[in-house]
A and B are shown apart, each in its own frame.
Chain A
Amino acid sequence: MNVLEDIGAGVVRNFAYVGGLTEQFWSGVRALPRVLPLLGKRSRWQASIRQMAAIGVAALPMIAVMAASTGMILALQGAAELRRFGALRYVIDLVAVGFTRELGPLLTAIVVSGRSGSAFSAEIGTMVVTSEIDALRTMALDPIEFVLAPKYLAAIVMVPCLTIMCNVFGILAGAGFMYLSTKMALGIYVKYVLDSIYLRDVLGGLLKSLAFATIIVHVGCMEGFKVRGGPEAVGRSTTSAVVRSTFLVILADLFFTAFFYLARLQ
């Protein structure tokens, strides 16, 4: 009976969590216009621009190294098999399609979740512990608009940009491999890449990255808002933010990939 009760309690807890995330998502969407340049207060969109630098610009070196490494790994692994069939050229398709549809958005999401999702949670959790969030509420200021919305705007702008950069670096790593193994010129490589991918692949990847950005920001912020107690609770919230957001990003990726696969069959 205890096992059933535990399962039931777990299901209820997770539904409540998703419900809370959904509620926070709509509050965030409603607050977005108030952080936009020209429409919102200057201090808000200035905060958004600071967040864009933190989420996007500061993450670029890590994204570049990870994408190039993964691109090279994918090319090496693909080549090991394709070479046996004399189909080494298809390494280009593998890297280009793999990155635009899948690896670009996913790698970017994992990096942003680890860097920024945890930072959001730690920042907001600390604000909760030091009563700063309570102070905002007592000043009749909305913490969602003040704290979450600038991060959300920054993420939905910067994560797709980072995804594009991730695709570029991953595909360039493939170019490096093809040059080293077959002396293929960059121009020819790019032509093959453009032949192998469709616009829908790129747009699908960008759509995924928008969804991933939404998940990372809202999970990170929610874990921060949920903090109760002292500094040790802040530490737990950052771990939870990364684990939960990575888990939800992969679930969302599965959903999108299955959807696009079925859409192509139609």
Chain B
Amino acid sequence: MASPAISVRDLSVSYEGHQVLDRVNLEIRPNEIMVLLGGSGSGKTTLLRQIIGLERPDSGSILIRNVDINNCAPEELKQIRRRIGVAFQESALFNSMTTEENVALPLQELTDVAEPVIEIMVYLTLAAVGLAEARKLMPHELSGGMKKRAAVARAIVMDPDILVFDEPSAGLDPIVSAELDELILFLKKAFRMTILVVTHEISSAFRIADRIAMLYKGSLIAVEDKDRFRGSTDLQIRQFLDRIPDKLGEVPAVQEHLRELSGITGVRE
């Protein structure tokens, strides 16, 4: 069996005494789409920031292609970062640059590729995400979905092995969100990338995932194939999948309302 593309081992993170991640262990296989699910405050964005090397853990390690990113030389970390593409939740496009300049930036800064070749590579990459026509537009002229696509184009232009998405569906309508899911599936198929998606969108997760991991209050409570995850009987997983808020039953107004609706024992979509 191939070694994992990303390996998280006993990772613990705390902020000002508050434990955000508690001994998390996770392995992401090459060429799979792993979706990291969890509610707000479950620690999924913290885990993502750890994996892409933006923060350091209190303890534990993260191995990318068997290299510990917190214990390697700065130059080695740079090389690893070049093999990881990240599409941020807010797209993180540079507002002073056009869409194509944003996408060209990593090529111009990190490679010696000639400018005419960069232009062709940028055009092809933007075409792959369906933005060839919008290449001259500034970020503020793009719609939410187009911004996400442009961010994906910038993330894949260096041909990374690993692609990371932070809340790709956030702020998008269901149709655009589904289009973005299709794009993620296409990227996996076309470029054979390992993809990690952090989200709380259940429908999107089941559309794209090979496996699903779930974080609950800083602990990883499940790593399953998506079909097994869908059928899980774990209380926290069921509560999340059935969208029952944690404290719902403790709210007096809800208790009163539930008493009025005698015979109803649960809430379903």
Contacts and interface: CB of A to CB of B under 8 A. Distances in A.
Contacts of B94: 132
B260 interface: no
B3 interface: no
A138 B84 contact: yes
Contacts of A137: 53-54, 81
Contacts, number: 48
Interface residues of B, number: 24
A257 B194 CA distance: 61
A139 interface: yes
A43 interface: yes
B105 interface: yes
A138 B108 contact: no
Given A41-B109, A138-B53, A130 B82 contact: no
Contacts of B108: 41, 43
Given A132-B94, A134-B92, A139 B105 contact: yes
A139 B88 contact: no
Contacts of B86: 134-135, 138
A130 B92 contact: yes
Nearest to B109: A141
Interface string A122-141: 00000000111011011111
A131 B78 contact: no
Contacts of B105: 139, 141
Contacts of A141: 105-106, 109-110
B81 A139 contact: yes
Given A138-B84, A140-B78, A130 B109 contact: no
A139 B93 CA distance: 12
B90 interface: yes
Contacts of A134: 49, 54, 86, 88, 92
Contact of A131 (B53, B82, B92, B106): B92
A138 B110 contact: no
B89 interface: yes
A135 B139 CA distance: 15
Interface in B69-92: 77-79, 81-82, 84, 86, 88-90, 92
Given A130-B90, A131-B88, A131-B90, A139 B110 contact: yes
Nearest to B81: A140
Nearest to A145: B109
Contacts of A43: 108-109
Given A135-B154, A138-B53, 5 more contacts: A41-B108, A41-B109, A132-B93, A134-B54, A137-B81
For the complex of A and B, 3 pairs with smallest distance between CB atoms: A135-B92, A131-B92, A140-B81
